[in-house]
Amino acid sequence: MDTTQVLKGLLDTAVLAIVAREDTYGYDIIRRLRAAGFDEVGEASVYGTLRRLYRGGYLTSQIVPSEEGPPRKYYGINAAGRDLLERSTKTWTHLAAVMNDLLDLTEEAA
Amino acid sequence: MTTTATPTTLTPAAENYLQRVRKALADLPEDEQEEILGDVAVQLADLAPSTDTDLEAALGSPEDFAGELREAAGMGTRPAPDGLWAALGRRLDEFRNRPAVRWWMAQWVRLRPYWLATRGWLLVASISVIYNRDPFVRFPLPEVLDEAWVGGAVVAASTWLSFRLARSPRRGRFVDVAFTAATLFYVSITLSGAFPLTQSLDEPHGGASYRGLLGTDGPITNLYPYDLDGNPTQVLLYDQEGRPVLTRPELRSGGYEPLVSDGKLIIPEDGGAIAIPLDDNGRPIPNLYPQEERPSPYRGAQPTIPTTTTWQP
């Protein structure tokens, strides 16, 4: 199964979920996604997703100085973003339940 | 609210990668480009703290990176431009993406800081060669205005400028290219030896290292003195430090077995021989002692005229 294609469909929700916990910057989001198990997530996909969510009005951003290097652009979630995350979470929960049921049925039949 | 965060501490490899991503996003509005590149630049700064990091291995080619970013951002693919330049650009991108070319490019990126430092020195050194007769007396610092410390200061400034220009944004690229072109121009002139500005009494024929006496038509290999009545005569010639002037090359190179007779060095010449007085140690007695004189910079081929003359009988 091509996890890359599945991940693309889930990336918006995953990014929103990370930013909903606390404001953070692009590279840190990539690290958190990989630490969570999305090993194959591409940097460019995350940056593109952030730009799309920002332009769509779901994220805010601000420049924050960093002691470790150059200033970083921190993304935060706003009300529209939280609303989108809530709807996405419901959709995912529903789909996951349906998939789990289907897979359980398949295992029982086998 | 947002503003662009562009780090100023990118390595040359990261800067090169970022410029190629910028090129692949060139059709987007400029503010959109800056927003995206600001994010990417921060990651490149984190990812490539040293020049050894292979960014293409970590992130893919800049063109692929930009394509993936466009797709995720919902910006569509880059429209394929028409025309000869666009076709050449596509061919160039294909060429750059070949594994062998990418390997060589990685080596070049690694060596680029050394080239930038060398470029700063080369420009000053080669100009110094052209305008000075012997600028490498105090190698590696070329002399500028006849002073090595001035040369060192100019080399430091030139090297700083070389690095500064290499980091210049797209609009400043032509200055960087002009710097390289000027360096290569002066180096090629120096290597070819065709620098007329260095023409001097010693080197009137394009930088040949001839050190003998020179006339208007070339080297002088012998001198024939005559008295005022037009009769050949014999004289002893000495240079500015009292050393005998010898017109036989083998005498200078030591290939001649000296003949000493009656306390004098006998030197065979055309039509006879000349005798040079020797001191108790067998050395030619100078008849003109060193004077306060230093080599001329040879600008305009004007030798320094001695200010004092002391004759020794």
Which chain A residues touch B if contact means CB-CB below 8 Å?
8, 11, 25-27, 30, 42-52, 54-55, 60-63, 69-73
User: What is the full DSSP assignment across chain A?
Assistant: --HHHHHHHHHHHHHHHHHHHS-EEHHHHHHHHHHHT-TT--HHHHHHHHHHHHHTTSEEEEEE--SSSS-EEEEEE-HHHHHHHHHHHHHHHHHHHHHHHHHHHHHHH-
Cβ–Cβ below 8 Å for B2 and A25: no
Contact present, B221 and B240 (Cβ < 8 Å): no
Block means of pLDDT (10 residues each) for chain A, 110 residues, are: 72 94 91 88 90 93 80 91 94 91 73
Is B36 in CB contact (< 8 Å) with chain A?
A: yes
**Closest chain A residue to the Cα of B73, Cα to Cα:** A48
Closest to B79 in 3D by CA, of B31, B27, B34, B19 = B27
Cβ–Cβ below 8 Å for A43 and B45: no
The set of residues, in sequence order, having a beta carbon less than 8 Å from that of B136 and lying 6+ positions away, is B125, B129, B142
Crossing angle of the two packed helices B84-96 and B99-131, in degrees rounded to 10: 100
Cβ–Cβ below 8 Å for A49 and B9: no
pLDDT for B99 beyond 70: yes
Higher pLDDT: B99 or B172? It is B99
Chain A residues with beta carbon closer than 8 angstroms to that of B72: 8, 11, 44-49, 51-52
Share of chain B above pLDDT 70, in %: 61
Strand partners, B259: B266
- Average pLDDT of the segment spanning B281-303: 56
Residue B284 to residues B186, B243, B251, B254, Cα–Cα distance (Å): 44, 7, 13, 15
pLDDT at A57: 94
Which has the minimum average pLDDT: A55-64, B116-125, B130-139, B227-236? B130-139
Which structure tokens are listed for B236?
């002893």
pLDDT at B143: 72
Is B3 in CB contact (< 8 Å) with chain A?
A: yes
Closest to B180 in 3D by CA, of B153, B154, B196, B158 = B158
Higher pLDDT: A74 or B312? It is A74
- Average pLDDT of the segment spanning B6-16: 71
pLDDT for B26 beyond 80: yes
Closest to B288 in 3D by CA, of B259, B263, B312, B261 = B312
Contact present, A47 and B71 (Cβ < 8 Å): no
pLDDT at B30: 85
Cβ–Cβ below 8 Å for A45 and B74: no
Angle among Cα B30, B35, B37 to the nearest 5 degrees reads: 90
Q: How confident is the model at residue B9 (pLDDT cuts 50, 70, 90)?
A: low
B145 HSE (CA, 13 A, CB side): 6
**Closest chain B residue to the Cα of A64, Cα to Cα:** B5
**Closest chain B residue to the Cα of A70, Cα to Cα:** B7
Question: For all residues of chain B together, what is the average pLDDT?
Answer: 71
**What domains are there in chain A, each with its CATH number?**
3-109 (1.10.10.10)
pTM of the model: 0.47
- Average pLDDT of the segment spanning B3-21: 71
Q: Classify each residue of B228-243 as buried b or exposed e, where b means 16 or more C-beta atoms within 10 Å of its C-beta.
A: eeeeeeeeeebeeebe
Cβ–Cβ below 8 Å for A73 and B5: yes
pLDDT in tens, B198-247: 444 444 444 445 556 666 666 777 777 788 888 877 777 777 666 667 66
pLDDT for B267 beyond 80: no
Cβ–Cβ below 8 Å for B72 and A52: yes
The set of residues, in sequence order, having a beta carbon less than 8 Å from that of B79 and lying 6+ positions away, is B27
A80 HSE (CA, 13 A, CB side): 8
Chain A residues with beta carbon closer than 8 angstroms to that of B8: 70
- Average pLDDT of the segment spanning B133-153: 69
- The three-state secondary structure class of B173 is helix
Cβ–Cβ below 8 Å for A26 and B5: no
- The three-state secondary structure class of B106 is helix
Q: How confident is the model at residue B138 (pLDDT cuts 50, 70, 90)?
A: low
pLDDT at B4: 47
Is B7 in CB contact (< 8 Å) with chain A?
A: yes
pLDDT at B15: 83
**Closest chain B residue to the Cα of A55, Cα to Cα:** B73
What number of other Cβ atoms are within 10 A of residue B312's Cβ? 10
- Average pLDDT of the segment spanning B14-19: 85
Q: Name the residue facing B42 among A27, A42, A46 (closest C-beta).
A: A27
Cα dihedral B52→B56→A54→A29 (10° resolution)? -60
Chain A residues with beta carbon closer than 8 angstroms to that of B39: 25-26, 47, 50-51, 73
Chain A residues with beta carbon closer than 8 angstroms to that of B17: none
pLDDT at A59: 95
- Average pLDDT of the segment spanning B133-148: 65
Which structure tokens are listed for B50?
């040293």
pLDDT at A107: 64
- Distance from the Cα of A91 to chain B's closest Cα (Å) equals 20
